[in-house]
Amino acid sequence: MRKSLNLLLVGVGGQGTILASKILAQVGLEAGFDVKMSEIHGMAQRGGSVVTQVRMGEKVFSPMVARGAADAVLAFERLESLRYLSYLKPEGSIIINDQAIAPVPVLIGAAEYPENILEYVKSRCPNTIVVDALREAVACGNAKAANVVLLGVLAKRLDLEKEIWLKALEAKVPARFLDVNRAAFDAGYNL
């Protein structure tokens, strides 16, 4: 484990980024680190752009990740990966759920949804991983578990034991959804 880990989760209100961040923060706790997490919510819950930040390490001061300091960005939506790309370290990884959700300015024709997002992100970041988390989640029985599919993809790329992730999942996911989420995690992990 490196000295510290800075993670950004970005998406659209309602996609489950906050729950995913809570699981991630729990992973840090189970692994014995100091952990801070910033989850600004309120109006943004209503379909707005949402970003949560999780930091873990020996000692963490700021709950926010600085620009260019994120080890990994987990983007729940394509456009949001673009919006927060500048937070990523040059050698960091970005995991993108290949789903497009048009913001209202696009829906009403006041703005364009860029077409070449994935190409651009890949050109800036060699460690770009694109997955169809929604499809995987639906295959596991619940479209809402796409957030945990993405966590599985991330887990595979961090040097923390899988056991820790499963314990964190158990601690943060309501019991009746646990099976679906375990399956979703594995689906992501094995991608």
Partner 1 sequence: MKELLSGNEAIARGAYEAGVKVGVGYPGTPSTEVLENFAKYPGIYAQWSPNEKVSLEVGIGASLAGARVLVTMKHVGVNVAADPLFTLAYTGVNGGLVLLTADDPGMHSSQDEQDNRYYARFAKIPMLEPGDSQEAKEMIGLALEISETFDTPVMLRTTTRVAHSKSLVEISDPVKVELKPYQKNAKKYVMVPGNAKLRRLAVEERMKKLAEYSESVSVNFIDRGDRKVGIITSGISYQYVRELLPEASILKLGMTNPLPEKLIKDFASGVEKLFVVEELEPFIEEQLKIWGIEVTGKDLFPAIGEFNTDLIKDKFIAAGLLPAEEAQKEAAAAGEAPVAPGRPPVQCPGCPHRGVFYTLRSLKLVVTGDIGCYTLGAAPPLEAIDTTICMGASIGMALGMEKAVPEMHKKTVAVIGDSTFFHSGITGLVDVVYNQGNSTVIILDNRTTGMTGHQENPGTGRNLLGQEAPAIDIEKLARALGINRVTTVDPLALEELKKVIQEEVAAGEPSVIIAKRPCALLSREKGAAYQVNKEACNGCKKCQRLGCPSLSFLKEEKKAMVDPITCVGCGLCAQVCKFGALTQRGESNA
| Chosen residue from 5, 7, 96, 117 binding partner 1 by CB under 8 A | 117
**Contact positions with partner 1 (CB under 8 A) in 127-166:** 143
Minimum distance of partner 1 from residue 18's CB (angstroms): 10
| Spatial distance between the Cα atoms of 13 and 22, rounded to a whole number of angstroms | 15
Q: Is 108 in the site for partner 1 (CB under 8 A)?
A: yes
Instruction: Report the alpha-carbon distance of residue 107 to residue 117 in Å, rounded.
Output: 18
Name which of residues 31 to 70 contact partner 1 (CB under 8 A). 34-49, 60-64, 66-68
Looking at the DSSP bridge assignments, the partners of residue 96 are: 75, 130
**Binding footprint of partner 1, residue count (CB under 8 A):** 56
- Give Cβ neighbours of residue 56 (< 8 Å, ≥ 6 apart): 4, 5, 25, 27, 28, 31, 33, 34, 35, 36
Task: Choose the binding region for partner 1 from 103-111, 125-133, 151-159, 173-181 (rule: CB under 8 A).
Answer: 103-111
* End-to-end C-alpha distance for the chain, whole angstroms: 22
User: How does DSSP classify residue 174?
Assistant: -
Contact residues for partner 1, defined by CB under 8 A? 12-13, 22, 25-26, 28-29, 34-49, 60-64, 66-68, 79-80, 82-83, 85-86, 101-114, 116-117, 120, 124, 143
